[in-house]
Amino acid sequence: MIKRVLTLALAATLAVPAFAQDEAPDSVVEKFKTMYPKTTFKEIRKSQVSGLYEVVMGENIAYTDESGRYFIFGHLFDMQQQVDLTAQRKLDGKKTEFPAQHLGQAIKTVKGDGSRTFAVFSDPDCPYCKQLESEMARLDNVTIYTFLYPLESLHPEAKTKAVSVWCAPNKEKAWSELMLADKKPKLVACNNPVGDNLVLGSKLGVVGTPTLIAADGRVLPGSAPAEKIDRWLNASKPAAPAAAQEATQ
């Protein structure tokens, strides 16, 4: 039965367009709580698969239908977008450490008054990173620290591009042209922090690209519309100015 439900879930993922994830109806929430009185449900909401609910219990995420009898424990993938939806959900709301002591390893971009600060771990060959760059171009009053984070197992040429961007005379321009106009930088090499960024990202819990980290340590995984990033940034708690902690580039 569980295998059958999982098969239906994956099939539905491919066939049904993703919709906004909403809270489950009160009747469903109360039903699950009555069925499992000793279980603490942090969240119960509609999943991106029609007919399935996403149930968060502590650090565990499961999927079940309205009956609440059978639970699927595992990862739900959107195969069209090549996104691990469960992994992203586990990161939602989690916090890490803002890499304030490592800003010299990042490309700095200031827009407007630069009052809202965040870091981005980004792969030059990641299509969702390119999508994110287009959205971030719409933001105002931000300071963005882009940590070049090439995932060679997925994108064999990404590290070469990352190094070339870092070694360009104008890092910010080279990165923008690569991500927004697909203009490859001149192949050059120099001392660069790409290897250090890979170690740093691992320590901070970065599991994929793009990953955004707010000044207060909140994590936003994956690409997102500019409007969502705006709301996410505005929810940040005040932090010490990054400029005071930044290493000289």
- The answer to whether residues 127 and 147 belong to one domain is yes
User: Strand 116-122 relative to strand 107-111: parallel, antiparallel, unpaired?
Assistant: unpaired
- The answer to whether residues 72 and 166 belong to one domain is no
- The answer to whether residues 30 and 153 belong to one domain is no
* Range scoring the smallest mean pLDDT among 20-34, 76-90, 125-139: 76-90
Q: What average pLDDT score do residues 144-167 get?
A: 94
pLDDT of residue 59 exceeding 80: no
pLDDT in tens, 200-231: 999 998 888 999 999 999 998 888 899 999 99
Structure tokens at 166: 């870092």
Look at residue 59 and tell me if it is in a domain. Answer: yes
* Single residue among 91, 122, 156 that ends a domain in this structure: 91
SS3 15: helix
- The answer to whether residues 129 and 161 belong to one domain is yes
The pLDDT-based confidence of 238 (bands split at 50, 70, 90) is low
* CATH number of the domain within which 28 lies: 3.10.450.70
Cβ-Cβ contacts under 8 Å for 15 (sequence gap 6 or more): none
- The answer to whether residues 78 and 105 belong to one domain is no
Share above pLDDT 70 across residues of the chain, in percent, rounded to a whole number = 82
pLDDT of residue 107 exceeding 90: yes
Look at residue 246 and tell me if it is in a domain. Answer: no
Look at residue 247 and tell me if it is in a domain. Answer: no
pLDDT of residue 162 exceeding 70: yes
* Range scoring the smallest mean pLDDT among 41-55, 112-126, 172-186, 228-242: 228-242
Q: State the chain's mean pLDDT as an integer.
A: 84
Domain that holds residue 22: 2-91
Look at residue 243 and tell me if it is in a domain. Answer: no
pLDDT in tens, 172-203: 999 999 999 999 999 999 999 999 999 999 99
Is the peptide bond between 241 and the residue preceding it cis, with omega within 30 degrees of 0? no
- The answer to whether residues 185 and 139 belong to one domain is yes
* Strand ranges for 15-95 from DSSP E: 43-46, 53-57, 60-64, 72-73, 77-78, 83-84
DSSP 8-class letter at 209? S
